[in-house]
């Protein structure tokens, strides 16, 4: 690839003159400028974007960081964010943190080099340490859950779906259909995503005066394989339920796989409701009832918020919460 020094050699003009002509800054005679532009065209010279970014402090890139690249929940979010950023002439860089707090901090540390202009950050657990690391990047940032810090929050926005409400909707739908022994299948009990969803589950039971049974709380890792192992163990150890609220579609699919393998009929024997409403729900037998978590809309608005911070230099915080919506299919049966 041609450089400014190749253009300098071809025209016989100094490299500094070539830079002034190509950038349109500083003095350069018209004849020299014409010669330089013609030589640059002939040589196929293209400005080095990394060098331009270092000079202008503008990269026209935003990073979207997610904890699980295999989770279909994030596909629509990535699509929504990409479409918005494209309208601004921005590209998206995908970061993958492998559901690892250590990796999350490593990625954030690397961003201090400012090779992106903004950040959309997804995590299963926004801890004080993680929030401080986000702040230390000094980047315009949007996080995809709600986190209220005791510290000043002006440096990040929240665009998210109401997670307690989503689990409440799923649980209440099972209750309306006559189920009272409803298992909750979530992730790590200590993580924010699971805590918030368990709160919605607990509240729905409480409103119907149904006692919370700790034995019905099953914890896995938000993957299909983890759900299969955890739900199978629950059943093999004598656990009994007539319905399951699975905290994402992958875990709902895992429950269905276990039921099929063990000769348990869905929904005749066990009803299943999941959260996310991805295309996976249409690939199960029967099609799975799920709560739409508005991933595409979250991605779109997160991108709008981060671009507003980048272009308008906004320093005050904005939050947006989407309301989840139940999508009824065939995996829940009414009990008499």
- Which pLDDT value is given to residue 48? 56
**CA–CA distance, 263 with 302 (Å, rounded to integer):** 44
CA distances to 148, 311, 318, 319 from 308, in Å:
21, 5, 10, 13
- Which pLDDT value is given to residue 25? 66
pLDDT at 283 > cutoff 60 = yes
Nearest to 273 by CA among 198, 164, 187, 183: 183
**CA–CA distance, 169 with 227 (Å, rounded to integer):** 21
Query: What are the beta bridge partners of residue 276?
Result: 292
Over residues 35-43, the mean pLDDT reads 90
Over residues 59-75, the mean pLDDT reads 95
- Domains of the chain listed by start with CATH number: 4-47 (1.10.260.40), 56-161+295-324 (3.40.50.2300), 164-292 (3.40.50.2300)
**CA–CA distance, 42 with 7 (Å, rounded to integer):** 9
**% of residues, the chain, pLDDT over 70:** 94
- Which pLDDT value is given to residue 27? 79
Tokens at 75, concatenated:
């596909």
Q: Which residues of 317-335 are buried (b: 16+ CB within 10 A; e: fewer)?
A: eebbebebeeeebebbbee
Radius of gyration of the CA atoms of the chain, in A: 26
57 — pLDDT class (breaks 50, 70, 90): low
Over residues 47-69, the mean pLDDT reads 74
Helix residue ranges per DSSP H, the chain: 4-11, 15-23, 30-43, 49-56, 73-87, 101-110, 128-137, 163-176, 192-207, 224-236, 249-261, 295-312
pLDDT in tens, 88-127: 999 999 999 999 999 999 999 999 878 899 999 999 999 9
pLDDT in tens, 196-243: 999 999 999 999 999 999 999 999 999 999 999 999 999 999 999 999
Contacting residues for 216 by C-beta, under 8 A, at least 6 apart: 181, 182, 183, 184, 239, 241
Contact 249, 276 (CB under 8 A): yes
Over residues 314-320, the mean pLDDT reads 93
Over residues 56-68, the mean pLDDT reads 87
């Amino acid at each position: 690839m041609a450089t400014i020094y190749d253009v300098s050699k071809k025209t016989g003009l100094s490299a500094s003159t070539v830079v002034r002509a190509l950038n349109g800054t500083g003095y350069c005679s018209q004849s020299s400028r014409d010669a330089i532009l013609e030589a640059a065209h002939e040589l196929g010279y293209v400005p080095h974007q990394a060098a331009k970014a270092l000079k202008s402090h503008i990269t026209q890139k935003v990073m979207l960081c997610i904890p699980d690249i295999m989770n279909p929940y994030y596909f629509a979010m990535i699509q929504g964010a990409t479409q918005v950023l494209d309208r601004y002439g921005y590209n998206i860089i995908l970061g993958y943190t492998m559901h690892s707090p250590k990796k999350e901090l490593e990625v954030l540390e690397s961003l201090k080099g400012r090779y992106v202009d903004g950040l959309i950050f997804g995590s299963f657990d926004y801890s004080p340490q993680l929030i401080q690391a986000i702040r230390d990047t000094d980047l315009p940032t949007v996080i995809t859950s709600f986190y209220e810090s005791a510290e000043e929050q002006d440096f990040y926005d929240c665009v998210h779906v109401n997670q307690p409400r989503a689990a409440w909707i799923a649980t209440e739908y099972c209750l309306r259909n006559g189920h009272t022994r409803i298992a909750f299948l979530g992730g790590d009990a200590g993580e924010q995503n699971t805590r918030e969803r368990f709160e919605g589950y607990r509240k729905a039971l409480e409103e119907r005066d149904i006692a919370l049974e700790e034995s019905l709380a099953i914890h896995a890792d938000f993957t299909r394989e983890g759900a299969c192992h955890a739900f199978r163990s629950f059943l093999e150890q004598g656990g009994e339920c007539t319905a399951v609220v699975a905290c994402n579609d992958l875990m709902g699919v895992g429950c269905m796989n276990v039921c099929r393998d063990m000769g348990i009929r869905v929904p005749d024997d066990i009803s299943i409701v999941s959260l996310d409403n991805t295309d996976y729900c249409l690939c199960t037998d029967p099609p799975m009832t799920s709560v739409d978590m508005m991933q595409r809309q979250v991605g779109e608005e997160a991108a709008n918020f981060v671009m507003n911070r980048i272009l308008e230099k906004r320093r005050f915080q904005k939050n947006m919460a989407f309301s989840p919506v139940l999508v009824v299919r065939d995996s829940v049966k009414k009990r008499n």
